[in-house]
Amino acid sequence: MYHCFPYCGHISIMGEIKISPDYNWFRSTVPLKKIIVDDDDSKVWSLYDAGPRNIRCPLIFLPPVSGTADVFFQQILALSGWGYRVIALQYPVYWEIFEFCDGFRKLLDHLQLDKVHLFGASLGGFLAQKFAEYTHKSPRVQSLVLCNAFSDTSIFNQTWTANSFWLLPAFMLKKIVLGNFASGPVDPEMADGIDFMVDRLESLGQSELASRLTLNCQNSYVEPHKIRDIPVTIMDVFDQSALSTEAKEEMYKLYPNARRAHLKTGGNFPYLCRSAEVNLYIQIHLLQFHGTRYAAIDPSMVSAEELEVQKANLQASTEQEQEQL
């Protein structure tokens, strides 16, 4: 069965995900923490931190414009259950990329994390690259997983309006964001994912949305020579998403040595509707750090048998990549 979303108005808040046992288990077992690291008390980072605390190089998730920290709940539940330390963030209101990067660096200092792996979705992927670039002289990013991400904000053709988002009321900002959501037929899992993201979007205030759209659209691009030594996995989908083919090709050019994780379907939010595949690709990405000080997993949780399975999956995915090239 397929659902069609014209997105003319507000969608029912009670989507399948919000009332699912997994989501309710997540909300009841993983506490939401709020942390202030700036002089401005209004700038509050919200985060979920799950898995073994002895891990000093965790995987941190950065959400898209419409997302909150809990959009990664399926990754948090699965990966922490397998022994990984994972942190999902929600940004305070920052209007400049530099301001975000400085705040994020202070947050890592507060959490006593020297280096981290970053998983960024859409805007989160762009911010992850900019943070790696910002800290390149004293590196804080060990690796990147970039999901439906971009490297240059000019692809949205809105750099000229970026400085006026702060003037717009919340309902107009939400309309702008919804315009990038899928509008054609989607399968039930994708429909549930879109429902959930619409609900998360509804929870964001005017300044949160306006600042994220400003970061998403103000004139900025990634300088690849500053981060070329960082291991990268580019995760994208073959079906409809907000990213153009040109934007995807630009990412491949920027990171010619990146591992590619292609999903046949998944739309804008594969971490919600294709979580098993996304989680596997994340494990494959992090496998290269097992046994090093940058491992995101507790060594005692890595069984030889599981490692062999992961290596087989890694080999299979690499062969698949080569066939597609």
Per-residue pLDDT of 73-115, as tens digits, reads 999 999 999 999 999 999 999 999 999 999 999 999 999 999 9
Q: What is the pLDDT of residue 185?
A: 77
- pLDDT greater than 80 at residue 172: yes
- Give Cβ neighbours of residue 204 (< 8 Å, ≥ 6 apart): 66, 68, 212
| pLDDT-derived band at 11, boundaries 50, 70, 90 | very low
d(CA 243, CA 266): 13
Which one, of 117, 152, 158, 159, lies nearest residue 224 by Cα? 152
d(CA 157, CA 168): 18
More confident site: 177 or 34: 34
Please give the average per-residue pLDDT across 126-145, as a whole number.
97
| pLDDT-derived band at 206, boundaries 50, 70, 90 | very high
Q: What is the pLDDT of residue 72?
A: 98
- pLDDT greater than 90 at residue 276: yes
Q: What is the pLDDT of residue 307?
A: 59
Q: Which 8-state DSSP code applies to residue 81?
A: H
Q: Is residue 122 within 8 Å of 149, Cβ to Cβ?
A: yes
- pLDDT greater than 60 at residue 13: no
- pLDDT greater than 90 at residue 2: no
Q: Mean pLDDT lowest for which of 3-17, 217-231, 250-264?
A: 3-17
Write the pLDDT tens digit of every residue in 60-73. Answer: 999 999 999 999 99
- pLDDT greater than 60 at residue 1: no
- pLDDT greater than 90 at residue 9: no
- pLDDT greater than 60 at residue 155: yes
The amino acid at residue 132 is: A
- pLDDT greater than 50 at residue 7: no
| pLDDT-derived band at 319, boundaries 50, 70, 90 | low
| pLDDT-derived band at 311, boundaries 50, 70, 90 | low
Q: Which two tokens stand for residue 165?
A: 């988002």
More confident site: 110 or 9: 110
| pLDDT-derived band at 182, boundaries 50, 70, 90 | low
306: which strand partners?
A: none
Q: Which two tokens stand for residue 62?
A: 């950065």
Q: Is residue 74 within 8 Å of 266, Cβ to Cβ?
A: no
Q: Mean pLDDT lowest for which of 46-50, 178-182, 260-264, 297-301?
A: 178-182
Taking phi over 0 as left and psi of -120 to 50 as alpha, with beta for the rest, 54 belongs to alpha
Q: What is the pLDDT of residue 164?
A: 87
Q: What is the pLDDT of residue 181?
A: 78
The string of DSSP codes covering 158-220 is: -TTTGGGGGGS-HHHHHHHHHTTS--SEE-HHHHHHHHHHHHHHHTS-HHHHHHHHHHHHSS-
d(CA 291, CA 299): 7
**CA 42 to chain CA centroid, nearest Å:** 24
Q: What is the dihedral of CA 214, 106, 278, 324, to 10 degrees?
A: 70
- pLDDT greater than 60 at residue 325: no
d(CA 286, CA 281): 9
CB neighbours of residue 62 within 10 Å: 28
CB neighbours of residue 14 within 10 Å: 10
The string of DSSP codes covering 94-150 is: -SSHHHHHHHHHHHHHHTT-S-EEEEEETHHHHHHHHHHHHTTTS--EEEEEEES--
Q: What is the pLDDT of residue 184?
A: 72
Residue 53 φ then ψ, to 5°: -75, -15
Please give the average per-residue pLDDT across 38-47, as a whole number.
92
Please give the average per-residue pLDDT across 276-294, as a whole number.
94
Taking phi over 0 as left and psi of -120 to 50 as alpha, with beta for the rest, 112 belongs to left
Q: What is the pLDDT of residue 265?
A: 86
Q: Which 8-state DSSP code applies to residue 275?
A: H
Per the prediction, the chain carries an average pLDDT of: 87
Look at the chain and count its residues: 325
